[in-house]
Amino acid sequence: MQIVFISDTHGRHEQVQLPDADMIIHAGDITSRGTLTEAKYFIDWFAALPYQYKIFVAGNHDFCFEKTPSLAQQLIPENCIYLEDSEVVVEGLRIWGSPISPFFHNWAFNRQRGEEIKQYWDKIPAAVDILITHTPPHNILDKTVDNEIVGCEELMKKIAVDAPKVHVFGHIHEAYGTVQVGNTTFINASVLDVRYKVKNPPILISL
């Protein structure tokens, strides 16, 4: 299966040049200010894309999915899948998604590092093929422009034990790229750079 990964479009999704694939996965921050209007703008575009499977999670900018979840999720048509600490199985691939990220200035879906955020990662099943989170794990494609390592330590501990085939995330725009660690392909799919300009191409893999 050909899968295209994107993240952190922040309302600039129509500027992204997408390749052909069977599935598209978006790892959060579909909006800039987190309004329902912005979410609808993205979801209408996402739903119209010519992929057989379309999956996304929310991110720390997507306040409407945390503050008014029923209204936000009503916007999602049947041909799109939204994951929030939940999973879906697509053609035998087990996919788990979460919008959670470590606390930073009280953005959406922020949780304190340590035991509080660990409760969310403990929900991830052991046999996941594709893990979608908005946050990167600690010390993997998570270095900021100021050279700070900001990924989640508890998430990295979970991945080290369970080793999904693919872990896709975004959040740290300037850390875009892919890296293979053990049996896991890690993908920071942020298409915007640190100045919120569309710069990075979608990442396409076969799984």
Instruction: Identify the pLDDT of residue 105.
Output: 87
**Model confidence over 160-204: pLDDT tens digits?**
999 999 999 999 999 999 999 999 999 999 999 999 999 999 999
| Neighbouring C-beta atoms of residue 114, cutoff 10 Å | 10
Q: In the chain, pLDDT over 90 holds for what percent of residues?
A: 99
Mean pLDDT of all residues in 134-141: 98
Contact 122, 152 (CB under 8 A): no
Contact 203, 178 (CB under 8 A): yes
Contact 133, 142 (CB under 8 A): no
**Model confidence over 8-29: pLDDT tens digits?**
999 999 999 999 999 999 999 9
Instruction: Identify the pLDDT of residue 144.
Output: 97
Q: How far is CA 167 from CA 76, 131, 154, 156, 162, in A?
A: 24, 5, 15, 11, 11
Instruction: List the chain domain ranges.
Output: 2-206
- Burial string for 72-93 (b: 16+ CB within 10 Å, else e) reads beebbeeebbbbbbebeebeeb
Q: What's the token pair of residue 187?
A: 């993908």
Instruction: Identify the pLDDT of residue 130.
Output: 98
pTM summary value = 0.98
**Model confidence over 72-123: pLDDT tens digits?**
999 999 999 999 999 999 999 999 999 999 998 889 999 999 999 999 999 9
Rounded to an integer, what distance in angstroms lies between the CA atom of residue 40 and that of residue 30? 10
Say which CATH architecture domain 2-206 belongs to.
4-Layer Sandwich (3.60)
Q: How far is CA 159 from CA 49, 59, 155, 193, in A?
A: 31, 20, 6, 26
